[in-house]
């Protein structure tokens, strides 16, 4: 049984995101202040997610390197990232004498904060060090250094190896660390910090520890099986580490664990609750109510007739009936069924002058995947703001569909299709390590409409 879907792809969005400092919390029992620093040369979706969590928990923060060229290498696949150290060195100059300032440095594209300033300061002070680095189970980028790590004892049982995606410490000590030796932008930042940690004299001098048991930092790579979501009495989610019975508050999707972070990100940072449902779904929504026709975003609608479809005239009528300025809509039509040639020709005849543009793909396009790619390429070519894809066996019962979808202000929106009474849907919610569909932890609850 084939079920066709429609989706909306946003190529441009209304609205601005805050990229500057959040509000400073007050009323802490600690004399220290907390400043969050992160490097983000490009405001990606991952950065915007972190930005949301920082504002939500009222952190004071600074973004380093924004809109500057990234020259630190491809850290996703190889060593690199020294540029982060050099940006941090420059940023810490003005704080190098502030004894009561605690700096929390985190990666920006794959990190979510899930707690306020007071909780983070409490956990830092409890660890009894001046500088604390997050820890993981992999000795990256130089596995040969594993033998140089301090022997395991009751103090460091847990994640053994340093991870530089998150660390926290007093500003003067951190400034001394990042200025202790030179590093090229293309050198590896984690190797830089690892060599300092493995030097017993320097480790003692700056009172450096690793967060072995994820009291503050949870690196997900290699530890996905240890973590689970827990919901408090108010319905909000936290990440619980069952291996160490801790509740880390800085969640880092390092390495190959970014899909897992995406899944957790649907719930933590007050994104979803058992009482209120999806609170983050209301974030950054827009309204087109006060827009004039010429101010509406431009939309390319891709119409795909893959096989003979009953009531095709009704399908086309529902496209025409969409409430949206037609001069802002372009159409591209792919018809693979000769039976509908006359229906397509009739529709084009009556609507070519109505829409901004109406284009029918030629019969020489044999594969529907080719047609779908060509439609999206056309959207890019004409610089459309949104791309809306629909198959002929989907029905638009709401004439405000386009407006409603655009007002959600999301990059991509797709429907959830299920078969009543069966654990079947058009999604699995996760990916396996080899890139195939994998059932997510919340799959059954979503299918049963218990979470939405």
pLDDT tens, residue order, the chain (452 aa)? 344 444 555 543 333 333 444 444 444 455 689 999 999 999 999 999 999 999 999 999 999 999 999 999 998 888 999 999 999 999 999 999 999 999 999 999 999 999 999 999 999 999 999 999 999 999 999 999 999 999 876 666 899 999 999 999 999 999 999 999 999 999 999 999 999 999 999 999 999 999 999 999 999 999 999 999 999 999 999 999 999 999 999 999 999 999 999 999 999 999 999 999 999 999 999 999 999 999 999 999 999 999 999 999 999 999 999 999 999 999 999 999 999 999 999 999 999 999 999 999 999 999 999 999 999 999 999 999 999 999 999 999 999 999 999 999 999 999 888 988 898 998 888 888 788 888 899 999 999 888 88
| 226, 259, 282 - which closes a domain | 282
Residue 126 lies in a domain: yes
Packing angle, helices 189-198 and 82-92, rounded to 10: 70
CA-based nearest residue to 339, from 300, 392, 390, 301: 392
User: Are both 352 and 267 inside the same structural domain?
Assistant: no
Q: What is the largest CA-CA distance in the chain?
A: 82
Calculate the alpha carbon distances from 391 to 298, 363, 413 in Å. Answer: 20, 17, 15
- Flag whether 119 is in a domain: yes
Say whether both 263 and 338 belong to one domain: no
In three-state secondary structure terms, 411 is coil
User: 269 and 121, same structural domain?
Assistant: yes
Residue 205, classed as helix, strand or coil, is: helix
Between CA 99 and CA 32 the distance in angstroms is 8
Q: What tokens does 196 get?
A: 């300092």
Residues 218/251, Cβ–Cβ less than 8 Å: yes
Per-residue DSSP letter, 312: H
**In the structure, how many helices (H) and strands (E) does the chain have?**
12, 21
Clarify whether residues 230 and 251 are in a common domain: yes
Asked, for residue 183, whether it belongs to a domain, the answer is yes
- Which domain range does residue 218 map to? 33-282
Which of 245, 262, 282 finishes a domain? 282
**Whether 343 and 233 share a structural domain:** no
| In a shared domain, residues 103 and 224 | yes
The pairing of beta strand 101-106 with beta strand 131-136: unpaired
Q: What string of DSSP letters covers 363-385?
A: TT---HHHHHHHHHHHHHHTT-S
Structural domains in the chain (count): 2
* Residue 40 belongs to domain with CATH number: 3.90.550.10
Within-domain flag for 336: yes
Residue 133 and residue 210 in one domain: yes
Does some domain include residue 177?
A: yes
Classify residue 432: in a domain, yes or no: no
Domain stops at, among 260, 282, 304: 282
Task: Give every CB contact of residue 146 below 8 A, 6+ residues apart in sequence.
Answer: 139, 160, 161
Domain membership flag for residue 90: yes
Extract the tokens encoding 86: 């050099």
* Predicted TM-score (pTM) above 0.75: yes
Rg of the chain over all Cα atoms, to the nearest angstrom: 26
The CA distance from 66 to 44, in Å, is 11
Long-range contacts from 422-429, C-beta under 8 angstroms, 24+ separation: 423/447, 426/3, 426/5, 429/263
Whether the Cβ atoms of residue 167 and residue 133 lie closer than 8 Å to each other: yes
Tokens 């009751």 correspond to 154
* Same domain membership, residue 59 and residue 162: yes
CA 44 – CA 59 distance, rounded (Å): 20
Enumerate residues 6+ apart whose C-beta is below 8 A from 41. 65, 66, 67, 68, 69, 70
- In a domain, residue 17? The reply is no
Q: Are residues 225 and 339 in the same domain?
A: no
Q: Which residues pair with 97 in a beta bridge?
A: none
Query: Are residues 273 and 309 located together in one domain of the fold?
Result: no
Directed axis angle between helix 341-351 and helix 312-320, to 10°?
20
Residues 250 and 393 in one domain: no
Residues 215 and 324 in one domain: no
């Amino acid at each position: 049984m084939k079920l066709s879907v429609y989706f909306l792809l946003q190529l441009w969005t209304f609205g601005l995101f805050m990229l500057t400092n959040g509000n400073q919390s007050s009323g802490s029992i600690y004399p220290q202040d907390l400043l969050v620093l992160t490097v983000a040369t490009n405001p990606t979706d991952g950065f915007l997610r972190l930005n949301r969590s920082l504002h939500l928990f009222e952190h004071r923060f600074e973004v380093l390197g924004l809109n500057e060229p990234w020259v630190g290498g491809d850290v996703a696949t190889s060593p690199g990232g020294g540029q982060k150290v050099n940006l941090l060195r420059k940023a810490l100059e003005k704080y190098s004498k502030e004894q009561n300032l605690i700096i929390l440095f985190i990666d920006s594209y794959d990190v979510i904060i899930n707690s306020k300033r007071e909780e983070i300061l409490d956990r830092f002070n409890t660890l009894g060090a001046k500088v604390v680095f997050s820890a993981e189970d992999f000795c990256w980028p130089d596995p040969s250094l594993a033998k140089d790590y301090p022997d395991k004892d009751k103090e460091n049982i847990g994640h053994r190896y340093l991870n530089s995606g998150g660390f926290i410490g007093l500003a003067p000590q951190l400034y001394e660390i990042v200025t202790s030796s030179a590093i090229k932008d293309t050198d590896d930042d984690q190797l830089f910090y690892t060599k300092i940690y493995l030097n017993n004299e320097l480790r003692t001098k700056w009172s450096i520890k690793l967060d072995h048991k994820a009291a503050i930092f949870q690196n997900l790579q290699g530890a996905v099986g240890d973590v689970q979501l827990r919901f408090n009495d108010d319905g909000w989610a936290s990440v619980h580490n069952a291996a160490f019975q801790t509740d880390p508050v800085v969640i880092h999707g390092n390495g190959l664990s970014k899909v897992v972070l995406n899944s957790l990100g649907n719930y933590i940072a007050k994104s979803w609750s058992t009482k209120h449902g999806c609170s983050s779904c209301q974030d950054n929504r827009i309204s087109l109510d006060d827009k004039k026709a010429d101010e509406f975003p431009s939309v390319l609608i891709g119409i795909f007739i893959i096989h003979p479809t009953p009531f095709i005239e009704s399908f086309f009528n529902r496209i025409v009936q969409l409430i949206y300025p037609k001069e802002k809509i372009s159409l591209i039509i792919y018809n693979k069924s000769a039976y509908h040639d006359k229906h397509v020709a009739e529709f084009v005849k009556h609507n070519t002058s109505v829409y901004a543009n109406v284009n029918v793909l030629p019969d020489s396009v044999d594969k529907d995947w080719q047609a779908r790619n060509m439609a999206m390429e056309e959207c890019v070519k004409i610089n459309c703001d949104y791309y809306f894809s629909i198959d002929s066996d989907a029905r638009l019962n709401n004439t405000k569909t386009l407006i409603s979808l655009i007002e959600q202000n999301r990059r991509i929106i797709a429907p959830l299709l299920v078969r009543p009474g069966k654990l079947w849907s058009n999604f699995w919610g996760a990916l396996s390590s080899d890139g195939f569909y994998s059932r997510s932890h919340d799959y059954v609850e979503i299918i049963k409409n218990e979470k939405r």
